[in-house]
Chain A
Amino acid sequence: MTDEGERRMTPRQLARLIDAYGADPSRFPEDVRAAAEHLLAHSPQARGLADAAARLDFVLDGLGAPPPPTAALTASVRRLVPGSARQLPRATAGRSIVAWLQSLSLRPVALAVATLAGLGIGLILPSPFASPPSTIESVDYSEADPTSSADSVALEEMDELGGEPMATGLASRGASESGVEEEPELPLI
């Protein structure tokens, strides 16, 4: 009687199992596997459900087996003995240090350092508006108006923009600051 009760499973319950685990009963939860196999053996409707799922299982199996870890990886990980002086393999020491920092939950600190570094670089680098106009621009404008010199055109253009070159440069940096706040530009490590 108990055995019969354990074997009872509705097609709906089986469909739920197959939805999640596919057609192979060996992937079903252990406690319902026998009931599912019983239903599959006795119900054409249940087998129909399994057949459809089996096609997807078969295709997924076509991904193939992953390659084994290389000997170099195995050797380097085996050398990572806790407490030893030669813990970090040279080739990946940088990445491993990052992982170690992350394991210490220092990610917010790293983000702050990266953001400050980005701001610092932005302040140190000269603004493109502070440097003299490029030769290419000079040539273009000279051709457009042969009577004016390249420098005077550049100055007029700055006047039209309504500000001093340095002020424009600072405004530009301000924009980059707001950009940093929205989407920090992290350095590639």
Chain B
Amino acid sequence: MRAAGDHDEHALVRRAGAGEAAAWQALVDAHLAAVHRTAWYMLGDRAEAEDVAQEAFVRLMTKASRWQPDGARLGTWLYRVTVNLCIDRQRQRRRFTFVEDMKEMADTTFATALDHRIDLGQAIRAALDALNPRQRAAVLLVHYQGQTNIEAAAALDVSIDALESLLARARRALRQSLTPSLPDLLGDGPASRSRTEGRS
């Protein structure tokens, strides 16, 4: 089933590469939202996410005419390109904005959010930003995008074991960052308890 779908998609890429507008637009409609979502989770900024999404499709545009699947699904290839573009952009951002220690900055932001109980989203963003970019990518692909371990490992071009290691280290770091704030972020925790009870 999936193989047939993949075959169709590869054919669609080749048709798009040959200049067929309808095929290209079908690819865009199928993948743009996921690419944009990935970039947004990685970068936390709408404008930058849009830039990255566009760059990812420019890459696809230049590659489509000589597309070789090489075993990778188009979605996986796009995720990989998007994550790498985001990591490049974060490196540039660090270089050009003179942010010497992003972790320190994120910790500071996070501490501020804690002290003043400002904004849960901001605190989570700061904790995510403090992660190593590949750890962050692993979390966003599995936790936020709902990818399977196989899909996420392929997107990051790592083994399943390596993916699980990235995930475990990321979650450990996130727990460490967020644990002091859990009572504040969860209130007295009834939402968490009911969620857990509902699951078990």
Contact = CB atoms under 8 A, between A and B. Distances in A.
Interface string B138-162: 0100111010111000000000100
B62 to A, nearest CB: 5
B120 A59 contact: yes
A19 B171 contact: yes
Given A70-B50, A84-B19, A188-B96, A50 B25 contact: no
A96 B174 CA distance: 34
Interface residues of B, number: 68
Interface footprint category on A: 35 or more
Interface string B164-200: 1101100110110010001001100101100110011
A51 B193 CA distance: 8
B53 interface: yes
A51 B196 contact: yes
B18 interface: yes
A30 to B, nearest CB: 7
Given A59-B186, A63-B121, A66-B49, 10 more contacts: A20-B164, A54-B199, A56-B178, A69-B33, A69-B36, A69-B50, A83-B19, A89-B54, A96-B55, A99-B58
A145 to B, nearest CB: 40
A20 B36 contact: no
B117 interface: no
A50 to B, nearest CB: 7
Contact of B182 (A55, A66, A95): A55
Contacts of B49: 66
Contact of B143 (A41, A60, A77, A92): A60
Given A50-B200, A56-B171, A74-B28, A62 B120 contact: yes
Nearest to A69: B36
Nearest to B57: A77
Contacts of A54: 192, 195-196, 199
A64 interface: yes
Contacts of A103: 58-59, 62-63
B32 interface: yes
